[in-house]
Structure 1
């Protein structure tokens, strides 16, 4: 018991010294200082976030009045809001007394690690930015991308969404979209149709061409400039191939082609122009019967 008395006495003295130190702290001043810092940081964050939102909405309206594409405008608005919000957070931390220099270095190192881990995702983001800025197509366009044909539903940061004509949704990574061939049928106002039809070798070829041109010129969806053209394209096995070329507006292309094909069939039938089926000539050769073998 006597051995523990010196240690107990020392511990008692340390406790007394600690209580004196705590009593010596200006708690009211400390609370006032840190309370003001916290209040200032909260006010800076709330006010900065409100201003960031107002700025983003204002930028969206300005871009809309300037005729900027809605997808590009939304992307720029989100980027501007994110950048301003980061600046607001850093300002609030500075007001709180937290050094931001080391935090920037930490964020840089963390960003490098995340970038290496999310390399594929970042490539999709970069490709999405290219699609939004360069705009090879926009929402509502009729396109063929990576062998998939459909209407562009939405261009997102990571993906492009297509709706096919049999009502399937195809989701393509943006990195794949930017590295493959893109066919945009909606980029130009007119689209050419090609209708190939076979005419019998014994039919009036000139009359058949005149009928094709008459049908195309009389259709309301076919434009006059450039004018329709009918050309002889091939001497096939069973028929002479005529091809009709005519330009229509993009929205009318499918219906106009169907109606013109039907009109060609009716017009040819009414004017005695045949559309022959594939034919083959079969030649049968009879060989001499084998010599009779002598009976044994």
Structure 2
């Protein structure tokens, strides 16, 4: 009798299998399709946002941030629609998320802080994509500002991912914000050198360099009577993009010009006086 009852139960399951697969299989298939299509449209929304904002010549920093935000919003709606298709009550899900919002917020304080800092960076623009900055203990060119982090590229081509909150909560030094920068050089010459001649030699180098700006003018002044040399400060202005190439050029040109004028650039030295000790 038990065997007969088992067979009857198995027959019942076999009979219900088509109905089961028709009901839940189609829902699962529809959920997969919704997820794939939604993920595709998330990418489309991101690319379309970038295209529209670029056509309006919006700043690259804003374009990157808004595009990532658009992708995230579409993807979240896709997840909710997928869960609703498989039978999850989305209204209940939203209620649960709302009830758990405080706990989630406490658990994700860092992420929420990074998101808020990202919004502030887009609104106030302390730096933009392409700027060379020093912040959060690192320095590099800003490649991208995302929802939670900022991507920096260093001079030796390393990638640094810095949290947005670490950047906004600290001091930001933006070397690319203004069109002009001043080069500060210290040139030391021998005490035997003529001050007026030395200043003229340095001035001739600055006047002949095409990258040195005429407005504002440069400064050459005697700054210090040091232990082994008299030190001049040399402060020309250049375009921001020409800062490092011009700095390297000026150091080389000033050294060659001083050598040609037979003006010595001394190295640190010390005079040692040996005092004779009388024999016992």
Tell me if TM exceeds 0.5.
yes
Q: Distance in 2 between matches of 1:58 and 1:187?
A: 29
Deviates more, 1:72-81 or 1:257-266: 72-81
Cross-structure match for 2:268:
278
Q: How does 1:237-276 map to 2 (within 5 A)?
A: 237-276=227-266
Aligned residue among 118, 132, 139 for 2:108 = 118
Cα distance change of structure 1 residues 93 and 272 upon mapping to structure 2, 3 Å threshold:
closer
Q: How does 1:121-200 map to 2 (within 5 A)?
A: 121-200=111-190
By how many angstroms is 1:77 displaced? 4.4
- In structure 1, the gaps of 5 or more residues are 1-37, 291-296
RMSD: 3.4
Cα distance change of structure 1 residues 244 and 52 upon mapping to structure 2, 3 Å threshold:
closer
Partner of 1:114, secondary structure, is: helix
Cα distance change of structure 1 residues 259 and 88 upon mapping to structure 2, 3 Å threshold:
closer
Instruction: Give per-residue Cα distances to partners, 1:42-64, cap 9 Å, x unaligned.
Output: 9xx99xx7999988776655533
Partner of 2:173, secondary structure, is: strand
Larger radius of gyration, structure 1 or 2?
1
Q: Distance in 2 between matches of 1:127 and 1:183?
A: 17
Cross-structure match for 2:279:
289
Instruction: Establish whether residue 105 from structure 1 lines up as the match of residue 83 from structure 2.
Output: no
Q: Distance in 2 between matches of 1:93 and 1:149?
A: 44
By how many angstroms is 1:250 displaced? 1.7
Q: Distance in 2 between matches of 1:56 and 1:164?
A: 27
- Number of aligned positions between the proteins: 249
By how many angstroms is 1:86 displaced? 6.9
**Greater relative contact order (CA < 8 Å, ≥ 6 in sequence):** 2
- In structure 2, the gaps of 5 or more residues are 1-26
Q: Distance in 2 between matches of 1:207 and 1:71?
A: 50
Cα distance change of structure 1 residues 213 and 110 upon mapping to structure 2, 3 Å threshold:
same
By how many angstroms is 1:133 displaced? 2.2
* TM-score with structure 2 setting the length: 0.74
* TM-score with structure 1 setting the length: 0.71
Partner of 1:106, secondary structure, is: helix
Q: Distance in 2 between matches of 1:100 and 1:264?
A: 73
